[in-house]
């Protein structure tokens, strides 16, 4: 069974970021279930990773290099998955600090070859290129296998029937892209610890005497 980690960096509840993340995951699961040229359809298990409840632990990990239990479990869920859906709100043409900080505490090699689908939400279509200039380069640095179709949803996309239909089409295409990437993945199981490397406590104490 394929495991898809769905990471949402939404800051509000309810969150349009989480809604978009859920719909991208649903589209991917549906596409995986359909027969393809490479074989019959398959099933997928979705793991939700909401970053909002982990905000303090993410900040602490940035400062100390140590991940508390809840954050450690979230990091493991992401790096051990078969694919990742990553969705963030956009503020002032950039990804949220919470989303970027979570990526910063992951080991730089932990997402290598990982099939990834990127999504973003914002109040205006003026942010629509943020996936390309602010988010995709981060995952390129992490050497993830990011699918071509990224999905940006502005506030208006959830409103009128025409805009909503266009968003539905982009979501279905993105789900198909990620399903294809999962089937073609060269990803190997993670053996290294996903947490930041830290010195042992005795070594830290020993350094105080110098």
Q: State the DSSP string of 8-32.
A: E---SSS-HHHHHHHHHHHHHHHHH
**In the numeric block, which tokens belong to residue 39?**
């074989």
- Within the chain, residue ranges assigned H as helices are 16-33, 55-64, 69-79, 97-105, 130, 136-141, 161-183, 201-206
Number of structural domains the chain divides into = 1
Cα–Cα distance between 110 and 47 in angstroms, integer? 17
Cα–Cα distance between 41 and 46 in angstroms, integer? 16
Residue 164, domain extent: 2-209
pLDDT in tens, the chain (210 residues): 899 999 999 998 888 999 999 999 999 999 999 877 666 778 899 999 999 999 999 999 999 999 999 999 999 999 999 999 999 999 988 899 999 999 999 999 999 999 999 999 998 777 888 999 999 999 999 999 999 999 999 888 877 655 678 899 999 999 999 999 999 998 876 644 445 544 444 544 555 554
Q: Is the dihedral of CA 166, 171, 176, 180 positive or negative?
A: positive
**In the numeric block, which tokens belong to residue 115?**
């099939």
Cα distance from N-terminal residue to C-terminal residue, the chain = 53
Of residues 2, 1, 6, the one with CA closest to residue 116: 6
Cα–Cα distance between 57 and 210 in angstroms, integer? 30
Of residues 178, 131, 154, the one with CA closest to residue 5: 178
In CATH, what number is assigned to the domain containing residue 36? Answer: 3.40.50.360
């Amino acid at each position: 069974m394929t495991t898809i980690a769905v990471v949402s960096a939404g800051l509000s509840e309810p969150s349009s970021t989480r809604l978009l993340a859920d719909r991208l995951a649903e589209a991917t699961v549906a596409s995986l279930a359909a027969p393809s040229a490479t074989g019959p359809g398959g099933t997928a298990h979705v793991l939700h990773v909401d970053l909002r409840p982990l905000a303090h632990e993410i900040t602490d990990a940035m400062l100390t290099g140590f991940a508390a239990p809840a954050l450690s479990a979230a990091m493991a869920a992401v790096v051990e998955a078969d694919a990742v859906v990553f969705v963030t709100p956009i503020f002032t043409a950039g990804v949220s600090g919470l989303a970027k900080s979570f990526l910063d505490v992951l080991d730089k090699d932990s997402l290598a070859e990982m099939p990834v689908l990127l999504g973003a939400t914002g109040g205006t279509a003026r942010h629509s290129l943020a996936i390309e200039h602010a988010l995709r380069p981060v995952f390129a640095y992490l050497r993830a296998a990011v699918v071509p179709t990224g999905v940006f949803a502005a506030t208006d996309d959830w409103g009128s029937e025409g805009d909503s239909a266009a968003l539905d089409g982009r979501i279905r295409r993105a789900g198909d892209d990620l399903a294809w990437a999962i089937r073609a993945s060269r990803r190997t199981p993670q053996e290294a610890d996903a947490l930041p490397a830290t010195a042992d406590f005795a070594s830290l104490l020993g350094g105080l005497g110098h």
